[in-house]
Amino acid sequence: MAENRLPHLFSGTELQTVFDAVPDSLFLIDPETSQIVWCNTVAHTELGYEAEEILGHSVLSLQKDVTGLPAWHLIADEIRKASPYVFVGRHRHRDGHEISVEVHTSTFELNGKTWFLSSARNVTLRRQLEEEWLARDSHVLFALNEASDGLWDWKVQSGEVFFSPSLKRMLGYGPHELSPTLESWSSNVHAEDHPRVLHLLDQHLRGLRERYEAQYRLRNRNGHYLWVNDRGRVCERDAHGKATRVVGMVQNITDQKALEQHLMQQASYDSLTGLRNRRESELAMDNLISTCQRLGVPLGVCLFDLDHFKHINDVHGHLTGDQVLIRVAEQVAGAIRSSDRLFRWGGEEFLLLCPGTDADQLRTLTQKLCDGVATMDWSTVPGVSGVTASFGVAIMPDHGTQPGDLLLAADTALYQSKAAGRNRVMVQPVERTAIS
């Protein structure tokens, strides 16, 4: 009589105890004959057999979905090619009823012989729950469809996609429009988002992500883009574990995105002039310093403010002062290069960053800006006859390579410009170490 023990190559009571603690059935199988040569305790008790009885069986006598040795040899070849091999089938219980199982089989070599090790999980309860779910499927789909902006159901092998009526409605299509294909969706994903979205979907299909979720822009029938939050999950796989059906839900988040962008605008931009604010200038300056150092080019830094601006506010009021700030910001922004960055530093003071600009070029540019402000037409602003500005400039690396050093040098030059009579450009002299 056969004994339920490991072959001598695998002997050991401690190892047997470990295997018996595994909640799934474990079978050691001879690939040539499909004979079961060992199993753990769960394997034989779940099928209603004693330990010594199960060893007289093979895959062919226990697995209802594998019939005949030729069929087993075909499956064995697939297991050798794609280990672990996943198979969903039915085990025969001793009393005749079926047990739904999901079997994962891997191969290994030991002392010149190939073995199959199969782990079989009882999924009977899970299948029952799935059947109950399918029985209520139409009611659930109706409830979900009404509670969301849209549902989709993708049959992966055929490429057919069901788009719910509410999803079509969200995109501006009638109930009988929008071809039920994957192309109908993918061709309308914004070009900038397309690679990222397909990458996330592919990772989920390959089991690298628990679920698919992406926020992206989706074109509607009128050619406008909506922001959507798209979530989905594989709900069916074939015997090899390959995804065959994926379902998901699309939510229109355009209003939410608009609010986020508005809040970001408020956090990053000056509400009066529309220029980037001081917080943004700090981030930009760090990035520009790193970029210019890497490229080996200078960075021009200029601080300027409006002369006698307090007098304008005191005499003509803050509304007039606001108009002056707006007009000057527009004047300077229109006279600089697209690569230059202009910020409202605070009050009547502005910061200008000019990558790739040396000292001579920066003097020329800032003098042009200074002259442009001084010659502006103020006829439309009551009480204001003219406005001037004072400029202080510094250059990286001449005045330093740290934001603090460059700003200090530009601010010192600005102070010198004020002291010298205003309405002019000053450069902080560069201290040179004497050579003996």
Q: What is the pLDDT along the chain (436 residues), one digit of tens a residue?
A: 445 554 555 556 777 888 888 999 999 999 999 999 999 999 999 999 998 898 889 998 888 878 788 888 888 988 888 778 888 888 999 998 889 888 999 999 988 899 999 999 998 887 777 666 655 555 555 555 555 578 899 999 998 999 988 888 888 887 778 889 999 999 999 999 999 999 999 999 988 888 899 999 999 988 999 999 999 999 989 888 889 999 999 999 988 888 877 776 667 888 899 999 988 899 899 999 999 999 999 999 999 999 999 999 999 999 999 999 999 999 999 999 999 999 999 899 999 999 999 999 999 999 999 999 999 999 999 889 999 999 999 999 999 999 999 999 999 999 999 999 999 999 988 765 444 3
C-beta separation of 403 from 282 below 8 A: yes
Residue 1 lies in a domain: no
Residue 59 lies in a domain: yes
| Domain co-membership, 91 together with 146 | no
As for how many domains the chain has, the answer is: 3
* Beta strand 85-92 pairing with 36-39: unpaired
Instruction: Give every strand in the sheet of 150-155, ordered side by side.
Output: 160-163, 150-155, 243-252, 225-237, 212-219
| Domain co-membership, 163 together with 228 | yes
pLDDT of residue 88: 81
Helix (H) or strand (E) holding 100: strand 98-110
Q: Assign 41 to helix, strand or coil.
A: helix
Last residue of a domain, one of 257, 289, 322: 257
| Domain co-membership, 274 together with 377 | yes
Distance CA 10, CA 12 (A): 7
Nearest to 153 by CA among 244, 225, 216: 244
| Domain co-membership, 148 together with 117 | no
Last residue of a domain, one of 85, 102, 124: 124
Residue 436 lies in a domain: no
| Domain co-membership, 292 together with 386 | yes
Residue 105 lies in a domain: yes
Length of the chain: 436
CATH label of the domain that carries residue 317: 3.30.70.270
Residue 140 lies in a domain: yes
| Domain co-membership, 374 together with 290 | yes
Q: Assign 211 to helix, strand or coil.
A: coil
Last residue of a domain, one of 235, 257, 279: 257
Residue 247 lies in a domain: yes
Q: How far is CA 129 from CA 100, 239, 246, 264, in A?
A: 13, 19, 18, 46
C-beta separation of 118 from 99 below 8 A: no
Expressed as residue numbers, the domain containing 29 is 8-124
| Domain co-membership, 279 together with 417 | yes
| Domain co-membership, 88 together with 216 | no
| Domain co-membership, 153 together with 94 | no
Nearest to 347 by CA among 380, 370, 324: 324
CATH label of the domain that carries residue 183: 3.30.450.20
| Domain co-membership, 422 together with 305 | yes
Helix intervals (H) in 90-237: 124-135, 137-147, 165-170, 182-186, 194-205
Q: How far is CA 331 from CA 117, 301, 327, in A?
A: 77, 18, 6
Q: φ, ψ for residue 160 (rounded to 5)? A: -75, 135
β partners of residue 118: 27, 105
C-beta separation of 298 from 397 below 8 A: yes
Residue 3 lies in a domain: no
Residue 180 lies in a domain: yes
| Domain co-membership, 211 together with 322 | no
C-beta separation of 329 from 343 below 8 A: no
| Domain co-membership, 143 together with 87 | no
Nearest to 23 by CA among 93, 91, 119: 119
